[in-house]
Chains A and B, each alone.
Chain A
Amino acid sequence: MPEPEHKATAEHAETAENRSFSASSAVTKVRELSFAEAIREALAEEMRRDSRVCILGEDVAEAGTPFKVLSGLVEEFGKERVIDTPISEAGFTGVGVGAAMTGVRPVVDIMFGDFLTLVMDQLVNQAAKVHYMSGGTWKVPLVVRATLGATRRSAAQHSQSLHAWLSHVPGLKVVLPSTPYDAKGLLKTAIRDDNPVVFFEDKMTYKMKGPVPSDEYTIPFGVADIKREGRDVTIVATSSMVQVALGAATLLDEVGISAEVIDPRTTWPLDERTLVESAKKTSRAIVVDEGYLRYGVTAEIASVIAEGAFYHLDGPVMRLGAMHVPIPFSPPLEDATVPTDRSVFEAACKLCKRP
């Protein structure tokens, strides 16, 4: 396993505490926040802590974005730091790269992840390569927040999950939080990171509530989280698919299959060790991700598990992802294109050789 992941794991030995914060909730106040509120709180805290942090994007100020994720930030930080841009994704992301190189720590808002296609040059040829090409002299402490996820009936240009594209590029880090707790801790880490980080938020998760401690915490990159322990099958799931995997795990319980659900939380750096260890323990693994199956995140994770746990596995690593089609608008079509509790359940039954 490459060095950085080891380092991330070791460096943040306090992660265990982070994960089991509920145990210490006697001292730490834990509230229920929505995913959107957790994002907003992370941004507000980091903006209070560091005046170099600013937000750039379309309708981020008074409108607080169409998803209302940023509501209230302009009131606290003003229009000098919560900056509305024209509809110029390539332009303002490029400005983000240059500003990041020269002392600002911008958080760029890409309303729909589908619009990442418009900023690929800025992210892939510029941001990702500056540090390396300059022999490690320039840094790009840039965060790009984008959304992913289908089933909002938003059709082919507003529903894609394109995180695999970014995960493919050396120099970028890619974060996929699945809970309010993870969203807050990971976003704070992203803002403090000296590298370009692409941070994906599932649109359907914005309203999901979950416990978030009021005390300061961060979550390191490259550390997977075991969302549920189990013995018979490992389900690795990302972002929107974590709840799907947990739903499937509940169904599996009913037929006597104990599923372990693991959320890598970052596709790069990737916590290979935790994934492999779990697969070794259960002897079976399924990978679920809302991006396209072909050449996607599931393929990479499945190969990591296959290589690392081959002699412990009872069968091939299975993968579930988006059907290889542009996301259709019509509800019965769209619903057929993404994994569900049921399809994950069925895959697990098959793998466990249950009827």
Chain B
Amino acid sequence: MTTATNRSAADSATAVERLIRMYRRMVAIRLFEERVNDLYTRALMPGLAHLYIGEEAVAVGICEALAGDDYITSTHRGHGHCLAKGASADRMFAELLGKKSGYCKGKGGSMHIADPTTGNLGANAIVAGSAGIATGAAFSSKYLRTNRVVVCFFGEGALGQGVLYEAMNLAQLWKLPVIYACENNLYNEYTHYSETTAGEILARPAAFGLAAESVDGQDVRAVYGTAARLVDRARRGEGPAFLLSNTYRFRGHHVGDVSRDYYRTKQEEQRWMVERDPITILADGLIERNLADRAQLDRIHSELTSEMNAAVESALAAPYPTPDEAEQDVYA
């Protein structure tokens, strides 16, 4: 029989493992995105790329609270969500480069990564486009009694879309296990959210009776803690929730958005990057509390760097699909 002290020692061991795992995931996303930026600026990557740098703690903290077969839906800024839910970097890079070995055989690209094996129902390039899909997956969970929870990721820009409110209303009426995870990075493209969003954000889901909470999106421990509570609650059949994570994108709206002075100041960007970097915040916390040392964190960093570099190389070397594949997969 385990004694009480043993149990709490074991609990704190898993808690530390969890923190290290979340650290690793956040660094992986950061390194992934830096490589996307590099590929894009070297004209090796076609299309659009919306980087998640600065927001890593949101996806990582929330996905940490999910089981492997729980579902997520993602957005145009989706690389972080996909990686946090367990996607592999090489197949993601391959998809971003339009290669056949990519998650969607090159058909989807950066904004449409989907992967049934990790419960990823798909990234979506229509703002709020996945509100219905996520709520529908929660409907399935209840209907089929699979007890899966669904997280619907979206930016605060999606608060402008009516379909989100129709979906939340249905979710609450039917007590569906879905978490609406709003990532408020302050800007809808090039416009501050205060210019597009009337009233209090949390008052909206609260009006439907959803459990509505907000959290510091730069603090992965806080995100995880709050998400875990809301996910458990949903899994117990107590209904949907709305989790507002306050965060910031460190880079442009997309990789090409380089002159940003007309909508936000360099000082503001600097302040967030220096004072509110989620990776630094967690690293400092771990070291301060003697849960990890710098050398260990550096090792994680260099392991992941080699992993990411190898993933890029393999994706660059991978073949494109052949043109005849364009006509495949239209129908099931």
* Chain A positions near chain B (C-beta within 8 angstroms): 58-59, 62-63, 66, 84-91, 114-115, 118, 152-158, 323-326, 328-337
Contacts A59-B190, A153-B47, A332-B322 given; indicate if A115 touches B106 (C-beta within 8 A).
no
Partner of B190, one of A62, A154, A332, A334: A62
A328 touches B195 (CB 8 A): no
Apart from A62-B190, A85-B160, A333-B325, what 6 extra A-B contacts exist at CB < 8 Å? A154-B47, A156-B125, A157-B111, A329-B110, A333-B323, A334-B326
Is there contact, CB below 8 Å, between B161 and A328?
no
A90-B162, A330-B320, A332-B322 in contact; A84/B196 too (CB < 8 A)?
yes
Q: How distant is the Cα of A254 from the Cα of B112 in the complex, in angstroms?
A: 43
Q: Are B47 and A155 in contact (CB under 8 A)?
A: yes
B191 touches A333 (CB 8 A): no
- In the complex, what's the smallest C-beta–C-beta distance from B191 to chain A, in angstroms? 5
Which residues in B have their C-beta under 8 angstroms from that of A63? 189-191, 262-263
User: Are B323 and A335 in contact, CB atoms less than 8 angstroms apart?
Assistant: yes
**Bound-state Cα–Cα, A353 to B176, Å:** 63
Taking A58-B188, A90-B162 as contacts, is the C-beta distance between A333 and B330 under 8 angstroms?
no
Task: Report the bound CA distance from A66 to B76 in whole Å.
Answer: 15
Which residues of B lie under 8 Å from residue A330 when comparing CB positions?
Answer: 98-99, 105-107, 109, 320-321
Please report the C-alpha to C-alpha distance between residue A161 and residue B248 in the assembled complex, in whole angstroms: 34
A-B contact pairs, 23 of them (CB 8 A): A58-B191, A59-B189, A59-B191, A63-B190, A63-B263, A87-B128, A87-B188, A88-B161, A118-B161, A153-B48, A153-B98, A154-B47, A155-B107, A157-B125, A326-B107, A326-B330, A329-B107, A329-B109, A330-B109, A330-B320, A332-B320, A333-B106, A337-B326
* Per-position binary interface string of chain B over residues 43-62, scored 1 when its CB falls under 8 Å from any chain A CB and 0 otherwise: 00011100000000000000
A86, A90, A158: the one contacting B188 at CB < 8 Å is A86
Interface residues of B in 96-143 (CB under 8 A from A): 98-99, 104-112, 124-129
Q: Which residue of B lies closest to A335 (CB)?
A: B323
Residues on A with C-beta less than 8 A from B108 are 155-156, 329
Contact partners of A337 in chain B: CB under 8 A: 326
* A329 and B195 contact, CB distance less than 8 A: no
> Is there contact, CB below 8 Å, between B129 and A157?
yes
Chain A residues contacting B162 (CB-CB under 8 Å) are 88, 90-91
- Which residues on B sit within 8 Å (CB–CB) of A152? 47
Nearest CB of chain B from residue A81's CB, rounded to whole Å: 16
**Could you tell me if B126 and A333 are in contact, using CB atoms closer than 8 angstroms?**
no
**When the two chains form their complex, are residues A155 and B112 in contact, meaning their CB atoms are under 8 A apart?**
yes
Contacts of A87 in B (CB 8 A): 127-128, 157-158, 160-161, 188, 196
Whether the pair A155, B111 counts as a contact (CB closer than 8 A) is yes
Residues in A with CB closer than 8 Å to B159 are 86
Evaluate contact between A114 and B126: CB separation under 8 angstroms. Answer: yes
Shortest beta-carbon distance from A167 to chain B in Å: 23
By a CB distance below 8 angstroms, the chain A residues around B320 are 330-332
Residues from chain B with Cβ under 8 Å of A84 in the complex: 191, 195-196
Residues of chain B in range 160-208 having any CB-CB distance to chain A below 8 Å: 160-162, 188-191, 195-197
- Give every chain B residue within 8 A of A158 (Cβ-Cβ): 48, 111, 125
Chain A residues near B107 (CB-CB < 8 A): 155-156, 326, 328-330, 333
Instruction: Report how far A331 CA is from B158 CA in the complex, Å.
Output: 29
- Decide: B109 and A323 in contact? CB cutoff 8 A: no
The residues of B that contact A114 with a CB separation of less than 8 Å are 126
Chain A: CB-nearest residue to B109: A329
CB-based nearest B residue for A336: B323
Q: B11 → chain A, closest Cβ, in Å?
A: 43
Instruction: Return chain B residues, CB-CB under 8 Å to A154.
Output: 47-48
Given A62-B190, A154-B47: A86 and B197 within 8 A (CB)? yes
Q: What 5 pairs between A and B have smallest CB-CB spacing? A: A329-B109, A330-B98, A330-B106, A86-B160, A153-B47
| B288 adjacent to chain A (CB < 8 Å) | no
B36: min CB distance to chain A, Å:
14
Chain A contacts of B161 at CB under 8 A?
87-90, 118
B190 and chain A: residue at smallest CB distance: A63
Chain B residues positioned under 8 Å from A115 (CB to CB): 126
Give A170 to B327 CA distance when docked, in angstroms.
33
CA distance A206 to B246 in the complex (A): 37
CA distance A86 to B112 in the complex (A): 23
Least distance between B113 CB and chain A CB atoms (Å): 10
In Å, the complex CA distance between A323 and B195 comes to: 41
Is there contact, CB below 8 Å, between A62 and B263? yes
Nearest residue in B to A328 (C-beta to C-beta)? B107
Choose from A118, A157, A323, A332 the contact partner of B321 (Cβ within 8 Å).
A332
Determine the chain B residues whose CB is within 8 A of the CB of A58 once the complex forms.
Answer: 188-189, 191
Chain A contacts of B160 at CB under 8 A? Answer: 85-88, 91
Contacts of A90 in B (CB 8 A): 161-162
Check A324 against B330 for contact (C-beta < 8 Å): yes
Residues of B within 8 A of A59 (CB): 188-191
In the bound complex, how far is the Cα of B130 from the Cα of A157, in angstroms?
Answer: 13
CB distance from B103 to the nearest CB of A (A): 11
Contact B330 A325 (CB under 8 A): yes
Q: Known A153-B47, A157-B125; judge A329-B106 contact (CB<8 A).
A: yes
Closest A residue to B193 by beta carbon equals A86
Q: How far is A326 from B329 in the complex, measured between Cα atoms in Å? A: 10
Interface centre among B104, B107, B321 (most CB of A within 10 A): B107
Q: Find out whether the CB atom of A333 lies under 8 angstroms from the CB atom of B188.
A: no
A153 contacts B46, C-beta separation under 8 Å: yes
Which residues on the B side are within 8 Å of A66 (C-beta)?
A: 189
Q: CA A330 – CA B94 in complex, angstroms?
A: 10
**Cα of A177 to Cα of B105 in the assembled complex, Å:** 35
Known: A115-B126, A331-B320. A155 touches B189 (CB 8 A): no
By a CB distance below 8 angstroms, the chain B residues around A333 are 98, 106-107, 321, 323, 325-326
A323 touches B327 (CB 8 A): yes
Q: Which of B30-51 contact A (CB under 8 A)?
A: 46-48
Q: A residues within 8 A CB of B157?
A: 86-87
CA distance A81 to B104 in the complex (A): 43
The answer, among A153, A155, A328, for a CB contact under 8 Å with B326, is A328
